[in-house]
């Protein structure tokens, strides 16, 4: 048993949460739940990124003060995560005093270490990215990501000597091959570093909506520079050093592919400059696309996609929490882009949930009610289902450990398929009550129990209900994986609950 500290990016509060944000948060949540299940001491941090030009502009547009606007929008993220059953341990807001304290401490240390200096900066700025571009990296003077016109800005700024870390970063990557996964993204980050690093401007005088620079009252920190430090604020940096020592070596950042440069180049260099080890791992994910386009708020505003149609809260109220969680985790492997569609949700729901899982539970509980006096029989130790269940346990556990919820669910659904095939083969609905029938049904109940354990990080509510239906008390995540994920632990002898369908089918034209 170890320790596991997982973070999501902190979300900009210029607009409401959408399903792209939910994708990242649900993945992080399932991983946190897996690690709790195996007994790791776990901390899961998410939150909101509340400074910067983009948020200040959104507040002005809505005729609100930045603070009132961020209070309101940050609350919408919490509401979305509550609707999705997100089990975060801490929710950080970058406007909190604890964050100011950590940022000022961290950056004063880098300043004292000699990695910060003053200079004049001139460049092309994209407010949506909160980032500068060179004319070469722009597309005809427009942002390559958002397509909006870049603004020419000139400021006297404080700079971070990123260029001083080129060699150290390359060595770090070589010594820590698993620092960034998947490997394609690691190579992308590494080739960016090898291409040469320029110092970065880390403060602003053009806006006041930011964390004040402790050594220069006219400046606030640039939003990205303050935001990255949230990962340390969450474990008490500058306030409780013991906590930092405890959690930092087990840190895992889950991030989208467009913010690789910040997390895989700037952030490890910033940590080195402050005398800290870089985070232990960055897992990069792709984008959910609608009709081939990223669900970006800017594009939505331009009418390319209607994000209001795909708010996480609306989705969960239409399809249920766990079906949406399942869809987000199962449809796309972490690292690749995936297509999001309502048709896709319906298809996954009807096939994997209603036909495979729901039907399995319904069949077995019905036979127990009609042919076993409502009491669950015990599994057999020599069942032909056992090796298949054991293989699924090994494969799913391995996939969860490798940050691959999609493969973990694939292995789990393999066991569901095998159990349905086992029932087809033995046709217990045609058998007379007796030992043979009891054996087949006991085996199926045991397989269902193991499925509930394996799927619990993805679908906690449904798995709890399955647990109850097969006559068990507590929940599949209340016991450690090591002791529950063993064939033969189902003891039978308790009353089975024959409930309403777990997943009533959805008409496919919905």
- In the chain the first and final C-alpha atoms are separated, in Å, by 45
C-alpha 368, offset from chain centre? 38
Q: Which is nearer to ligand MSP, 262 or 413 (by Cβ)?
A: 262
Tell which one of 103, 107, 244, 255 touches ligand MSP (CB under 6 A).
Answer: 255
Say whether 143 is catalytic. Answer: yes
271 sits near ligand MSP (criterion: CB under 6 A): no
Tell which one of 4, 5, 20, 327 touches ligand MSP (CB under 6 A).
Answer: 20
Burial class (CB in 10 A: 0-12, 13-18, 19+), 10: buried
Residue with tokens 């399955």: 466
Tell which one of 5, 6, 10, 26 touches ligand MSP (CB under 6 A).
Answer: 10
Q: Which is catalytic among the residues 297, 372, 426, 463?
A: 297
Say whether 294 is catalytic. Answer: yes
In angstroms, the Cα distances linking 94 to 5, 209, 219, 231 are 19, 11, 17, 11
The angle that helices 386-401 and 405-426 make with each other, rounded to 10 degrees, is 170
Say whether the peptide bond before residue 124 is cis (omega within 30 degrees of 0). Answer: no
Say whether 281 is catalytic. Answer: no
Say whether 126 is catalytic. Answer: yes
| CB-CB contact of 188 with 80 (8 Å) | no
| CB-CB contact of 157 with 203 (8 Å) | yes
Show contacts with ligand MSP in window 204-233 (CB under 6 A): 227-228, 230
Q: Which is nearer to ligand MSP, 221 or 481 (by Cβ)?
A: 221
Give the shortest CB-482-to-ligand MSP separation in angstroms.
33
258 sits near ligand MSP (criterion: CB under 6 A): yes
* Cα-Cα-Cα-Cα dihedral sign, residues 116, 119, 124, 130: positive
256 sits near ligand MSP (criterion: CB under 6 A): yes
323 sits near ligand MSP (criterion: CB under 6 A): no
Q: Which helix (H) or strand (E) holds 122?
A: strand 116-126
29 sits near ligand MSP (criterion: CB under 6 A): no
Q: Which is nearer to ligand MSP, 11 or 133 (by Cβ)?
A: 11
Say whether 18 is catalytic. Answer: yes
Tell which one of 4, 5, 16, 24 touches ligand MSP (CB under 6 A).
Answer: 24
Q: Which is nearer to ligand MSP, 40 or 89 (by Cβ)?
A: 89
96 sits near ligand MSP (criterion: CB under 6 A): no
40 sits near ligand MSP (criterion: CB under 6 A): no
| CB-CB contact of 312 with 80 (8 Å) | yes
Give the shortest CB-335-to-ligand MSP separation in angstroms.
12
Largest interatomic CA distance in the chain? 86
260 sits near ligand MSP (criterion: CB under 6 A): no
Burial class (CB in 10 A: 0-12, 13-18, 19+), 268: buried
84 sits near ligand MSP (criterion: CB under 6 A): no
Q: Is 276 helix (H, G, I), strand (E, B) or coil?
A: coil
Question: Residues 6 or more apart from 351 whose CB is under 8 A from it?
Answer: none
For ligand MSP, which stretch binds (CB under 6 A), given 17-25, 139-147, 184-192, 417-425?
17-25
Tell which one of 259, 345, 409, 418 touches ligand MSP (CB under 6 A).
Answer: 259
User: DSSP class of residue 431?
Assistant: S
Q: Which is nearer to ligand MSP, 128 or 365 (by Cβ)?
A: 128
**What is the distance between the alpha carbons of residues 288 and 295, in angstroms, rounded to a whole number?**
7
Q: Which is catalytic among the residues 21, 43, 219, 285?
A: 21
Say whether 21 is catalytic. Answer: yes
Q: Which is catalytic among the residues 146, 219, 253, 285?
A: 146
Tell which one of 180, 189, 295, 357 touches ligand MSP (CB under 6 A).
Answer: 295
Q: Which is nearer to ligand MSP, 17 or 492 (by Cβ)?
A: 17
Residue nearest to ligand MSP (CB): 256
**What is the distance between the alpha carbons of residues 84 and 23, in angstroms, rounded to a whole number?**
11
Q: Which is nearer to ligand MSP, 284 or 372 (by Cβ)?
A: 284
11 sits near ligand MSP (criterion: CB under 6 A): yes
**What is the distance between the alpha carbons of residues 30 and 328, in angstroms, rounded to a whole number?**
11
- Report the alpha-carbon angle 301-303-308, nearest 5: 70
Q: Is 281 helix (H, G, I), strand (E, B) or coil?
A: strand
**What does the DSSP assignment read for 74-108?**
HHHHHHHHHHTT---SEEEETTSHHHHHHHHHHHH
Q: Which is nearer to ligand MSP, 10 or 470 (by Cβ)?
A: 10
Per the DSSP assignment, residues forming a β-bridge with 124 are 133, 152
Q: Which is catalytic among the residues 143, 264, 271, 372?
A: 143
| CB-CB contact of 168 with 193 (8 Å) | no
For ligand MSP, which stretch binds (CB under 6 A), given 19-27, 57-65, 167-175, 488-496?
19-27
Active site residues per annotation? 18, 21, 126, 129, 143, 146, 294, 297
Could you list the residues that contact ligand MSP (CB under 6 A)? Answer: 9-12, 20-21, 23-24, 49, 227-228, 230, 255-256, 258-259, 287-288, 294-295
């Amino acid at each position: 048993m170890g320790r596991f500290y997982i973070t999501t990016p902190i979300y900009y509060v210029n607009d409401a949460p959408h399903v792209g944000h939910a994708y990242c948060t649900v993945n992080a949540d399932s991983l946190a739940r897996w690690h709790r299940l195996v007994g790791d001491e776990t901390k899961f941090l998410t939150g909101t990124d509340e400074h910067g030009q983009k948020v200040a502009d959104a507040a002005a547009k809505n005729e609100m003060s930045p603070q009132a606007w961020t209070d309101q929008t940050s609350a919408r993220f919490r509401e979305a995560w509550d609707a999705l059953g997100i089990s975060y341990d801490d929710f950080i807001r970058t406007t909190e005093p604890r964050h100011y304290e950590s940022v000022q401490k961290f950056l004063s240390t880098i300043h004292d270490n000699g990695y910060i200096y003053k200079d004049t900066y001139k460049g092309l700025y994209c407010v949506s990215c909160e980032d500068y571009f060179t004319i070469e990296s722009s597309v005809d003077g427009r942002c390559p990501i958002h397509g909006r016109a870049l603004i020419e800005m000139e400021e006297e700024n404080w700079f971070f000597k990123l260029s001083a870390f080129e060699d150290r970063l390359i060595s770090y990557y070589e010594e820590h091959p698993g620092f960034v996964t998947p490997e394609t993204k690691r190579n992308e980050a590494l080739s960016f570093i090898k291409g040469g690093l320029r110092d970065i401007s880390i403060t602003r005088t053009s806006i006041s909506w930011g964390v004040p620079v402790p050594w220069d009252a006219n400046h606030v920190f640039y939003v990205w520079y303050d935001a990255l430090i949230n990962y340390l604020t969450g474990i008490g940096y500058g306030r409780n050093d013991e906590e930092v020592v405890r959690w930092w070596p087990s840190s895992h950042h889950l991030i989208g592919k467009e913010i690789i440069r910040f997390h895989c180049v700037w952030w490890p260099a910033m940590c080195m400059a402050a005398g800290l080890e870089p985070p232990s791992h960055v897992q990069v994910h792709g984008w959910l696309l609608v009709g081939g386009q990223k669900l970006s708020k800017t594009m939505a505003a331009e009418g390319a996609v209607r994000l209001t149609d795909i708010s996480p809260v609306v989705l969960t109220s239409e399809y249920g929490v766990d079906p949406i969680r399942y869809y987000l985790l199962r449809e796309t492997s972490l690292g690749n882009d995936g297509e999001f569609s309502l048709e896709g949700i319906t298809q996954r729901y009807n096939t994997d949930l209603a036909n495979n899982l729901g039907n399995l539970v319904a069949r077995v509980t019905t036979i127990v009610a009609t042919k076993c006096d409502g009491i669950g029989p015990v599994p057999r130790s020599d069942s032909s289902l056992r090796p298949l269940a054991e293989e699924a346990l090994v494969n799913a556990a391995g996939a969860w450990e490798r940050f691959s919820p999609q493969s973990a669910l694939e292995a789990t659904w393999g066991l569901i398929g095998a159990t349905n095939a086992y029932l087809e083969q033995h046709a217990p609905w045609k058998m007379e009550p007796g030992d043979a029938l009891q054996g087949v049904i006991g085996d199926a109940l045991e397989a269902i129990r193991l499925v509930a354990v394996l799927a619990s990080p993805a679908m906690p509510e449904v798995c709890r209900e399955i647990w109850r239906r097969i006559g068990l008390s507590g929940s599949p995540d209340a016991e450690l994986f090591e002791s529950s994920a063993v064939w033969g632990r189902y003891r039978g002898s308790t009353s089975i609950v024959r409930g309403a369908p777990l997943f009533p089918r959805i008409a496919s034209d919905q």
